[in-house]
Amino acid sequence: MFVYDIKKDTWDIGTSMPTALHHSGAAMYKEKLYVVGGYYDGWMPSNELLIYDITLDAWSKGENMPTARGALTAEFLDGKLYAVGGFNKDTRFENEVYDPQDDSWEKRSDMPTPREHLSSTILNEQMYVIGGRDGQINLDANEVYDHTLDSWKPLDPIPTARSGLASTTMNEIIFVFGGEGYTSTFAENEAYIPEKGWFEQQPMPIPRHGLDAVTVGSVIYLIGGGIAPGASYSPIIEKYHNTIIPEFGVFVFMILGISIAITILFTKSKFQKLKII
């Protein structure tokens, strides 16, 4: 396990995981990192839940996930860990939730579109699950999960169907990066604004899949990923600053700018008149 210090731009080595895994889901909650599922010994699906305490630099184990699977996604909602999708034979739709307080799992509503190698992010206390594949077919599915209602809703599909992609949220906008196809990797960076749709953004300098995207303040860090389809690797880390305003935003900012200018002129005129009197 490697630890990146953003301020110093340096890497350090943390305590190794108890089990060597790949294609796991991971999510952070209250100074602890939860790593769930994945594959071991090649492509054997795992149901392990490994918990890393960042203050102690130590690992522990939680209750095993009911369904062993890899290439899943994981997010925390209202203090609970949701493990969604992934592959184990015909299992690509599972939605199981873990409660850290009592170290227990329960099943929730299945994801409508079965898939693996998918991505997810949280916006306004809802989980958006995007892209992925079903077998060898890349999908453009974009579905949102409401944990309070335990229900799913389909949304506008992502313009570029892809798997092995990464998603994160910044300034109320969802950004989706990279991915994998049959013969190449993706550089696409597409932004989604609920009720507004998708907007094409500046692509990544280096196309890749299996990467991760993490938002810190106003910067998105794009970490690792394979440059070629299949089992490839890279140590690449890039920073993305969103400087492109979606098309509808240009109009809004133009109107806002004109309104501010009129207000300033009116106020200045009013003050001058008062001074004369």
**CATH classification at residue 138:** 2.120.10.80
Tell me the residue range of the domain where 262 lies.
248-277
| CB contact burial 29-55 (16+ within 10 A = b; e otherwise) | eeebbbbbbbbbeeeebbbbbbbbeee
Compute the distance between CA of residue 246 and CA of residue 43 in angstroms, rounded to an integer: 41
Do 49 and 148 lie in one domain? The reply is yes
pLDDT value of position 242? 82
Do 236 and 262 lie in one domain? The reply is no
- 3-state SS, residue 258: helix
Total domain count for the chain? 2
Tokens representing 76 are 């925390």
Give 81's strand partners. 76, 98
Do 79 and 68 lie in one domain? The reply is yes
Do 150 and 269 lie in one domain? The reply is no
pLDDT value of position 92? 80
Q: Which residues 6+ apart lie within 8 Å of 123 measured at CB?
A: 169, 172, 174, 194
DSSP class of 218: T
Do 145 and 199 lie in one domain? The reply is yes
List, for the chain, all residue ranges whose pLDDT scores fall below the cut of 50: 247-257, 259-277
pLDDT value of position 80? 98
pLDDT value of position 243? 61
Do 112 and 34 lie in one domain? The reply is yes
Do 208 and 277 lie in one domain? The reply is no
Compute the distance between CA of residue 164 and CA of residue 210 in angstroms, rounded to an integer: 5
pTM for this entry? 0.87
pLDDT value of position 229? 87
Do 128 and 258 lie in one domain? The reply is no
Do 232 and 131 lie in one domain? The reply is yes
Do 263 and 233 lie in one domain? The reply is no
Do 193 and 230 lie in one domain? The reply is yes
Compute the distance between CA of residue 25 and CA of residue 120 in angstroms, rounded to an integer: 10
Do 110 and 17 lie in one domain? The reply is yes
pLDDT value of position 232? 85
Q: How far is CA 253 from the centre of its chain?
A: 28
For 195-216, how does the pLDDT look when each residue is reduced to its tens digit (9 = 90+)?
Answer: 999 999 999 999 999 999 999 9
pLDDT value of position 249? 45
